[in-house]
Each structure stands twice: as structure tokens, then as C-alpha cells.
Amino acid sequence: MLKFILKRLLQAIPVLLIVITITFALIHAAPGGPFSAERAVPPEVIEALNAQYNLDDPAYVQYFIYLKNIVRGDFGPSFKYTGRSVTEIIAAGMPVTFELGFYAIMIALTLGISAGVIASLKPNTIQDYIPMSLAMTGICLPTFVLGPMMVLVFAIWLDWLPVSGWGYIPGDKILPALTLGFAYAAYIARLSRGGMLEILSQDFIRTARAKGLKTATIVTRHALRGGMQPVVSFMGPALAGLLSGSFVVETIFQIPGMGRYFVQAAFNRDYTLILGTTVFFASLIILFNLLADIVTVWLNPRLRDNSNSGN
């Protein structure tokens, strides 16, 4: 297992390097610069700002300077938020994004696993069709459509929940968390159903039923652990998707998290903030996928044996 973890960590280094390189190339390929929108600023001041932030150097020099700073853990100063470093901005927005992601994943797991297990107990019946139809609806509706729809229904028409905000009014976290978590609940429901159907068809489940065990006992004690392996494998990409998907949700509901800073940085051409948030999210994606692989290996003894043998 230790060799497996070390191998995955070593693989993360070139992945991060590729992410940094592509992001750096794209932001420098875009027309204009961080200070080009400052119409009222004299050209001499723009030149001084470019020199201060090394933007007058060739692109390859800026690239290697940034890599050197990244190795030291320095994401650099923000070009638009005067007096604040990218690290400070990430530290300010990260708790909000993590809190939103936590609520969303709890909603996704609760709704998704419940719907998948219920559907798997009686396949190809009304008990299966209804939750799977809802799951398909969740997959087809993107967050930028679902969010405004939920605001329209629950905040404007019914006046049950606030339209936007975070932490000011009780219940203001419900709509953003539901919007972000509903799509992943749909995927988890389908994966749970498939995994449970495969496990419930095994011989040891038939033996448990022949012994007269209740359905609830069979599901919770015998089937659930094996049936949830597809869900565990999906959790790494799901957690990464929840964080990256928060960009849209945080913008819709005016939530002061990382996603909102990233969107504003893109509009402001804040190079260091774009790079810093991209590297941070890429690192989280790699970490979550590694954790998901570790849990999958722990749940499956055969994979555990393979990892111990050096795979």
C-alpha cells in the first residue's frame, strides 16, 4: 500500500507541471494584460506596474520565475487585490468553498445511495423507475439551469428560502448545497443501483435469503459494502467536480468562496490568482482521487493484495 501511495504521489508531479504550463500558456495567449483595462492610468505607470510584477520579461522568464516561487510555496501577489497575496485570498475563500462542498456531498450521498438501494431491491418495477427517472433528470439539468429554477420556485414564488448570501440568514445554505449536490446525487444513485444489483445476484446473498434474514439485514450487513465500491471509486472525481462546479453556484448565489474569486480573476486577467487557484484545485483533485483509490483498495481485498505486491 505504501508503494502504491508513493507511486501516485510521484505521478502527481508531472501532472501539476502540465497543468501549470497549459494554464500559463493560455492566460498569456489571451489578448491584453492585467493592467490594460486601466484607461485613466498614464502609460508610464503601466510600464512601472509591468516592471514591478516582471510582466515586461519574456514569457519563458516569467514561467520559470513562477515555477521557482511555486516550489517555495509562494503563489505571488494578486494583481487586482492590492496588498493581498494569492495565498491570503485562497485562505479566505477556501473555508466557504469547502463548507459548501461538504453540504453538497452529504446531500448527494444521502439522496443518491438511498435512491440507488431502493431501486435495486425491485428492478424493472415502479420502485425502480421513479428514482432512476429523477436521477436522469438530475444528470440532464446543469447547475446553471437548476440553480435559477430553484431560486425561482423556493425563493421567489414560495418565499421559503433566501435568494442569495452565505451565513447571514438561517437557511441560506440550503439552495446552493441542493443545487450543487443534486447532479452528483443522480450519478451516485445510478452507480449505487448498478453495484447493488451485481452484489444482490451473488450466491452468498441467496444463501442469506434462504436462511430467512430480513431484507434490511441483508442490505446493511452483506450487500452494502460491496455494492458501494462503484460509488467509492466515483468519490474522487465527484469531490473534485463539486469544488470546480462551485464556480457556477458561488456566482449564482453570490457566495464569497474560491470559485467566485476564480471567475473574477478570469475577467480581471489576474494572472497570479488564476494560476494559484488552478494549481490549488488541481492538487485537490489529485488528492481526492488518491484517497478514493486508497478506500477502494481497502474495501476490495484482492486489490489490496495487488497493491501490497507492488502494483
Q: Residue 85 pairs with which residues in a beta bridge?
A: 77
Is the predicted pLDDT of residue 33 greater than 80, yes or no? no
Is the pTM higher than 0.85? The answer reads no
Is residue 231 within 8 A of residue 191, CB to CB? The reply is yes
Rounded Cα distance between 29 and 271, Å, is: 12
Q: What is the pLDDT of residue 18?
A: 92
Closest of 168, 134, 136, 182 to residue 254, by C-alpha: 168
Q: From its phi and psi, is residue 254 left (phi > 0), alpha (psi between -120 and 50) or beta?
A: left
- At 39-64, the pLDDT tens digits run 666 777 777 877 777 788 888 888 99
Q: Residue 77 pairs with which residues in a beta bridge?
A: 85
Closest of 178, 177, 161 to residue 169, by C-alpha: 161
Closest of 154, 105, 113, 149 to residue 131, by C-alpha: 113
Rounded Cα distance between 69 and 61, Å, is: 12
Q: How many CB atoms lie within 10 A of CB 57?
A: 14
Is residue 189 within 8 A of residue 118, CB to CB? The reply is no
C-alpha distances out from residue 61 to 50, 68, 128, Å: 14, 11, 59
Which residue stretches of the chain are H helix?
2-29, 43-52, 59-71, 86-121, 126-140, 143-150, 174-200, 203-210, 215-217, 224-227, 229-252, 258-268, 271-299, 301-308
Q: What is the pLDDT of residue 36?
A: 67
For residues 130-157, average pLDDT: 87
pLDDT tier, 300 (very low <50, low <70, confident <90, very high otherwise): low
**Fold observed for domain 89-256:** MetI-like fold (1.10.3720)
R_g of the chain computed on alpha carbons? 24
- At 167-179, the pLDDT tens digits run 767 678 889 989 8
Rounded Cα distance between 237 and 104, Å, is: 14
